[in-house]
Amino acid sequence: FRFKDSVAEELRRADLVISHAGAGSCLETLEEGKPLIVVINEKLMNNHQLELAKQLHRDGHVLYCNCSTLVETLQSMDLSTLKPFPPGHPEKFALFLDNVFGFQ
């Protein structure tokens, strides 16, 4: 598909997700607990996607590659090495904001 308002249902059904390295795509997939291969776009200036992919890989949550190494990555991947992504705690951020703005 070219565009969908939400890919939540596809993520729930997926055994493996291959995505660009956009922060929203990565976090939504990892929060769903799915193994993820991120394919970085090497043509982006100030490549934040590469920075995010490298950090998530260092933390053990994703595999990453570029378009030319995707097939090799798929052939050699070991998804058992990936670590679950820890759940977020939005209530901590809300408490922080309450303290900063004096709402208590």
Q: What is the DSSP string of the chain?
A: ----S--HHHHHH-S-EEEE--HHHHHHHHHTT--EEEEE-TT-SS-HHHHHHHHHHHTTS-EEEEGGGHHHHHHH--GGGPPPPPPP-HHHHHHHHHHHHT--
Band (pLDDT 50/70/90 cuts) for residue 11 is: very high
CATH of domain 7-92: 3.40.50.2000
The two most distant CA atoms of the chain are separated, in Å, by 54
> Using one digit for the tens of pLDDT, what is the confidence trace for 25-56?
999 999 999 999 999 987 776 778 888 999 99
pLDDT in tens, 68-103: 999 999 999 999 999 999 988 888 888 888 888 888
Which residue, among 48, 59, 61, has the nearest Cα to 21 in the 3D structure? 48
CA trace torsion 18, 24, 26, 30 (10° rounding) = -120
Show me where the domains of the chain are located: 7-92
